[in-house]
């Protein structure tokens, strides 16, 4: 699998649109995001946090937060979805992927702020992760979620993932998809160009 340039993470930022046209930037997390990312996790509903962390926690455990902001450590990569409110960048979602070169897979997890759910942002992030995985040459995309997590299961099903029990854990379901589409057929290029435009003129990204 190909690897990204860890010295210039901003060049991998993408601009997505929510269903009602709000511009969402999806960029790699940075060390400076630590506090905002923790506030984001604290602000999730207990149910969303439980679903995302697969267990009860009032915030992101310190070790995990540290991994989230150190992109590339242990082949794990975190992205934050942000929008601008009154000129200030606010985290409204996040995603994390881990690449496993031994079996060509790209393992993912994601969440969207409760107040922003149901606006197509989860679907856009998932599609974006598929683009990123294809761009890096991964053969399959997969994730595990609690079998009670109807929203994630419906989202995965709708995005064409196959569902099967997670090996070794009866409480979880694995969603999995082979990556067959060529990168050029996907919206990745358009998303990246839009992000570059917004970086050069931030007022374009204001809701």
Return residues touching ligand COA (CB under 6 A).
Answer: 48, 51-52, 109-112, 117-123, 143, 145, 149-152, 154-155, 158
Distance, in Å, from the CA atom of 86 to the CA atom of 21, rounded to the nearest integer, reads 17
Q: How far is the CB of 201 from ligand COA (least distance, A)?
A: 27
Nearer to ligand COA by Cβ, of 117 and 183: the residue is: 117
CA 68 to chain centre: 12
> For tokens 């979805």, what's the residue?
81
Nearer to ligand COA by Cβ, of 61 and 202: the residue is: 61
Nearer to ligand COA by Cβ, of 9 and 53: the residue is: 53
Using alpha carbons only, give the angle 74, 76, 80 rounded to the nearest 5 degrees: 150
How many other β-carbons are positioned within 10 Å of the β-carbon of residue 46? 10
Cβ-closest residue to ligand COA?
A: 122
Nearer to ligand COA by Cβ, of 125 and 188: the residue is: 125
Q: How far is the CB of 149 from ligand COA (least distance, A)?
A: 5
- Written as six digits, the tokens of 52 are 């995302």
Distance, in Å, from the CA atom of 22 to the CA atom of 47, rounded to the nearest integer, reads 25
Nearer to ligand COA by Cβ, of 75 and 150: the residue is: 150
Nearer to ligand COA by Cβ, of 11 and 59: the residue is: 59
Cα first-last separation, the chain: 36
Are the CB atoms for 157 and 127 separated by under 8 Å?
no
Distance, in Å, from the CA atom of 120 to the CA atom of 86, rounded to the nearest integer, reads 22
Q: How far is the CB of 179 from ligand COA (least distance, A)?
A: 18
Q: How far is the CB of 173 from ligand COA (least distance, A)?
A: 10
- Written as six digits, the tokens of 2 are 């190909």
Are the CB atoms for 188 and 128 separated by under 8 Å?
yes
């Amino acid at each position: 699998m190909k690897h990204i340039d860890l010295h210039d993470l901003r060049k991998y930022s993408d601009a997505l649109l929510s269903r009602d046209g709000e511009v969402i930037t999806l960029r790699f997390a940075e060390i400076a995001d630590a506090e905002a990312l923790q506030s984001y996790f604290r602000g999730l509903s207990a149910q969303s946090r439980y679903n995302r962390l697969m267990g009860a926690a009032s915030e992101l455990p310190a070790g995990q937060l540290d991994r989230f902001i150190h992109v590339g450590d242990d082949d794990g990569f975190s992205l934050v979805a942000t929008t601008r409110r009154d000129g200030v960048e606010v985290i409204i979602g996040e995603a994390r992927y881990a690449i496993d070169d031994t079996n060509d897979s790209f393992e993912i997890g994601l969440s969207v702020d409760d107040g922003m759910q149901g606006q197509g942002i989860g679907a856009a992030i998932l599609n974006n992760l598929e683009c990123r995985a294809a761009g890096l040459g991964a053969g399959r995309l997969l994730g595990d979620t609690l079998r009670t997590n109807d929203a994630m299961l419906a989202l995965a099903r709708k995005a064409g993932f196959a569902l099967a029990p997670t090996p070794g854990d009866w409480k979880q379901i694995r969603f999995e998809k082979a990556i067959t589409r060529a990168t050029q057929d996907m919206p990745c290029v358009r998303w990246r160009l839009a992000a570059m435009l917004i970086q050069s003129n931030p007022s374009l990204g204001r809701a």
